[in-house]
Structure 1
Amino acid sequence: MTNNNDPKYQSGFGNEFASEALEGALPEGQNSPQNCPYGLYAEQISGTAFTAPRAANQRTWFYRIRPSVSHKPYVSATSLKTSRFSVDPTTLVATPNQLRWSPFSIPDQPTTFVQGLKTVAGTGDPSIRSGIAVVIYAANANMTREAFYNADGDLLIVPQLGRLEICTEMGPIHAKPTEIVVIPRGIKFAVNLPDGPSRGYILETFDRHWELPDLGPIGANGLANPRDFLAPVASFEDIDTGKPFTIFAKYQDKMFELEQGHSPFDVVAWHGNYYPYKYDLGKFNAVNTVTFDHPDPSIFTVLTVKSANPGVALADFVIFPPRWMVAENTFRPPWFHRNCMSEFMGLISGGYDAKAEGFVPGGASLHSAFSAHGPDTTTFINASKEVLKPVKLRPDGLAFMFETSLMMHVSKWALEDCGTDLQKEYYSVWQGMPKRFNQNKK
């Protein structure tokens, strides 16, 4: 891809963008002229139904060297027969137990991004556009003459270890830990690993698309600002010799592959509002209390996927960034709670204020609907005695949460086959809570 070493970006969330790698490659005045400039083919990708309301309608026009349909038939992906990237009910288990994992292991054999995808928890059926899946990736090899697209859902990618150089049909995106990337369903991409071994988290959503949360009483400013979201600029490969390209596809929870003689990244120009994008979490403008108690953690929502029930999200992506804590007469760590939502948490760097130990970068936890959780015993005791002064909370820490209104099952891989990653004694962090009740002492 041209300019792949120094990718350029366009700024804005949900904008209608136009980008061309060759001057004049975008047709003027219409989307599909009888003959496109440079002998290109016009091709549209639709992220929503044609008849979706204008405000929600998403589509992009490509002008590419060859149309995507020029390929051999799909076949079962033989190299991915042992794929654990699925919400097939036979691979999942229902459990209300609080769960926590140590950092997920990096493979000791050559493993690409696609080969390293494993579902931790999920629910639903992508064939009826219902549900979500929490996925981790752990990889150590580049995708060479390969690409992947997911027909089932959007992918929100959260790198934790190592940078990602992502080649997409719209152009290159480079992402480091503390940045996120969203790749909508259907868009082809390939991942290279400039730092070698890499690991991170993914939330796969089967219905609707990500959007910025409403700000309500917060007003016009705060949280994630639209201008800080970056979309790629057109860049193309003109390759039709040598070894065929392999395109992997996830369709109805199964992995397929096909061969074609030309690069899938041959888009010379494009325009539309359906594209991948990235966001730097360091630009999130956190909101918090300046008096007492805690606002709900929804104030840390970066992106949301709305459900049909107003005010209830199919999925929220929430972060807990470095920030000042100034609340008076307040137990400052997260309180004990039982939530109607399911909470999957990961740690990108540093520590987390609700856990004294055990929750470390590259690991994760899952607290399912109405399963009680909160600070561990050590954190509770220490925070109860703390002298409350203004403090910069976890200057080196960045935790996140995938929150959903759905009740997820846990994969057998995450419970049984991920080696020593599952902390089977996690429940013990809440044992030994002191009994402090004394009816004679108000």
Structure 2
Amino acid sequence: MTVQYMPGFGNDFETESLPGALPQGQNSPQQPAYGLYAEQLSGSPFTAPRGTNERSWLYRIRPSVKHTGRFKAISFEEWKSAPNVNDHQLALGQLRWDPTPIPNRETDFLAGVRTMTTAGDVQGQAGMAAHIYAFNISMVDEYFFNADGELMLVPQEGGVRLKTEMGIIEIEPGEIAVMPRGMIFQVELMDGPARGYMCENYGAKFTLPDRGPIGANCLANPRDFKTPVAWYEEKEKPCRLFVKWCGQFHVTEIGHSPLDVVAWHGNYAPYKYDLSTFSPVGAILFDHPDPSIFTVLTAPSGEEGTANIDFVIFPPRWMVAEHTFRPPWYHRNIMSEFMGLIKGQYDAKEEGFLPGGASLHNMMLPHGPDAFGFEKASHGELKPVKLEETMAFMFETRFPQHLTRYAAETDTLQENYIDCWKDLKKRFNGTPEGDWS
């Protein structure tokens, strides 16, 4: 089947896979067409202000109460939730990891999730978790929804097909997808084994950041976010539905597919975004601007200007600033930064930070370009340069990110990462010119 998309972000839209399945003029007719059931899926409190009120009406073969039976507890040992503290002996520090290997044994998406960090409190609906996924088989007759938060998938290797209650979304490296809290979905491989990153957002949902003085254009534009058209699966055979709720996993046996929504309308839906459509802005004379100008999506906290999570990317772009140290400056800040590399090189660390790898710089821990990057940026000719074939990103949060035991003990942890700064030398010699030899 050819998957189609329609644009929308924060808009109310409608789609049907059978003609006349979507009622007009009312949401819950006495007898919906095709013998369907009307059901509302709410992503916000009923009384939320109109601008933040999110809900969709689903017209489905069975109501979702028929998609659950008796639950039993189940465990996915490497998928952790906050608070998850003091389960390893690794001391505080700046950290970096090599890419997580693709599993040798058969592993589906749920079994392939490895939590790297957790922050905040899943039961308090604040904070996040940063995961890496790596799997080599599709989910078959198995489905999942996460009651703890929305999930952002960031593929790094291999495409994935997300079959959801509201349609099908396909994403490849260079794209992202967001599954709303409570959305039932299934993950299939598109072209071989897959690896990538995933942000689990416990707090307020992702939205577009305010542009402020930037104005009406640039950064991520609403028209580039795509939601799926209606699609349904009428499958009558034993299936299993997995649920994550308050950090625990449960499974129930059902006799059919839960992806049975024939039509829907509303503004609570999964979506995808092509990172190449992000329009970066930057300094066109001197100095290096804050990385906040590269924010694609933000999950706000209760404090204005302080995000529960920012999703930030560092895409291909021109560097033109004069009399300027162009890479990110050395800094300490209150935000905690989990970073990944989708492809190419990151300009501040061209060595050691590999596609599929990750780094963590927690709140108030200093970080910045390695010694090689510093030397290159300090002595290079400041002519216009285009950074190409690169894509890095950050999951940045106001909360400290606590390592999991897996992240602290995995073989991919680079024990010598701190050495990337050891060759930064003292250049102060009491003269205005310093020692730049």
TM-score tier, shorter chain, comes to over 0.9
The answer on 1:429 being equivalent to 2:420 is yes
In the alignment, which residue of structure 2 is the partner of 1:45? 41
Query: What is aligned with 1:163?
Result: 159
Does residue 234 of the first structure (1) align with residue 227 of the second (2)?
A: no
Q: Deviation of residue 60 (structure 1)? A: 0.8
- 5 Å-filtered alignment, 1:250-261, equals 250-261=244-255
Task: Tell me if structure 1 keeps the 8 A contact 2:81–2:122.
Answer: no
Q: TM-score, normalised by structure 2?
A: 0.96
Instruction: Provide the C-alpha distance between the structure 2 equivalents of 1:322 and 1:83, rounded to a whole number of angstroms.
Output: 34
Distance 2:164 2:87 in 1: 31
Task: State the one-letter code of the partner of 1:143.
Answer: M
Between the aligned partners of 1:344 and 1:440, the Cα distance in structure 2 is: 39
Q: Tell me whether 1:84 sits opposite 2:75 in the alignment.
A: no
TM-score (norm. length: structure 1): 0.95
Residue 272 of structure 1: how far off its partner (Å): 0.7
For 1:191, the aligned partner's letter is: V
Quote the residue 1:178 is aligned against: 174
Instruction: Check conservation: 1:96, 1:371, Cα contact below 8 A.
Output: no
Partners of 1:91 and 1:255 in 2: how far apart? 22
**Alpha-carbon shift at residue 124 of structure 1 (Å):** 2.3
1:189 aligns with 2:185: yes
Contact 2:84/2:118 (CA < 8 Å) preserved in 1?
no
1:119 corresponds to:
115
**Residues 291-342 of structure 1: CA distance to partner in whole angstroms, max 9, x if unpaired?**
0001111000000011111111111000000100000011111111111110
- What fraction of aligned residue pairs are identical, expressed as a percent? 54
Distance 1:204 1:299, change over 3 A: same
Residue matched to 1:22: 18
Residue 399 of structure 2 is matched in structure 1 by 406
**Separation in 2 of the partners of 1:196 and 1:91?**
37
Confirm or deny: 8 A CA contact 1:40 1:66 kept in the other structure: yes
**1:208 maps onto 2:204 in alignment:** yes
Matches for 1:217-232 after TM superposition, within 5 Å: 217-232=213-228
> In structure 1, what is the equivalent of residue 349 of structure 2?
355
CA contact (8 A) 2:78 2:406 kept: no
Does residue 378 in structure 1 map to residue 372 in structure 2?
Answer: yes
Asked whether the equivalents of residues 342 and 392 of structure 2 are also in contact (C-alpha less than 8 Å), the reply is: yes
- The CA deviation at 1:125 is 2.1
Q: SS where residue 55 of structure 1 aligns?
A: helix
Task: Please show how residues 294-313 of structure 1 align to structure 2 within 5 Å.
Answer: 294-313=288-307
Write out the 4+ residue segments of structure 1 that deviate beyond 2 Å after TM superposition. 80-96
Q: Residue 268 of structure 2 is aligned with which of 268, 271, 274?
A: 274
2:59 is the counterpart of 1:63: yes
- Measure the CA separation in 1 of the matches of 2:306 and 2:154: 23
- Check whether the contact 2:69–2:254 (CA below 8 A) recurs between aligned residues: yes
For the 8 Å contact 2:38–2:58, the answer to whether it is kept is: yes
CA distance in 2, matches of 1:88, 1:383: 40
SS of structure 1 residue aligned to 2:276: helix
Distance 1:83 1:396 in 2: 32
Q: Which runs of 5+ in 2 are unaligned?
A: none
Give 1:366 shift: 0.3
Matched ranges for 1:3-14 at <5 A: 5-14=1-10
How many aligned residue pairs are there? 431
CA RMSD, 1 decimal: 1.3
Q: Which of these residues, 66, 69, 81, is aligned with residue 72 of structure 1? A: 69
- Secondary structure of 2:195's aligned partner: strand
**Would the alpha carbon gap of residues 306 and 269 (structure 1) be closer, same or farther in structure 2, given more than 3 Å must change?**
same
**Contact 2:155-2:174 at 8 Å conserved across structures:** yes
Give me the whole-angstrom Cα distance separating, in 2, the residues matched to 1:196 and 1:330: 44
Q: CA shift at 1:82, angstroms?
A: 2.7
Given that 1:87 and 1:119 are in contact with CA atoms closer than 8 Å, whether structure 2 keeps it comes out as no
Correspondence for 1:440: 431
Shift of 1:86: 2.6
Tell me the residue number matched to 2:389.
Answer: 396
Take 1:274 and 1:92, find their aligned partners in 2: how far apart are those partners?
A: 37
Q: Note the residue ranges of structure 1 that are not aligned, 5 or more in a row.
A: none
**Is 1:245 aligned to 2:242, yes or no?**
no
